[in-house]
Amino acid sequence: MDGGQQALIEKISALEVKVDKVYASSEKMRKYFLWTGIITIAVIVIPLLILPFVIPAFLSSVSLPSGY
In angstroms and rounded to an integer, the radius of gyration of the C-alpha atoms of the chain is: 29
Residue that wins the pLDDT comparison between 57 and 16: 16
Query: Residue 59: pLDDT band by 50, 70, 90 thresholds?
Result: confident
What does the pLDDT average to over 34-41?
96
Q: What percent of the chain is modeled with pLDDT above 70?
A: 94
Three-class SS state of 12: helix
Q: Which residues contact 17 (CB under 8 A, 6 or more apart)?
A: none
Residue that wins the pLDDT comparison between 33 and 64: 33
Minimal CA–CA distance to 41: which of 52, 29, 33, 30? 33
Domain boundaries in the chain?
25-59
What does the pLDDT average to over 37-41?
95
Between CA 66 and CA 64 the distance in angstroms is: 6
Between CA 23 and CA 17 the distance in angstroms is: 10
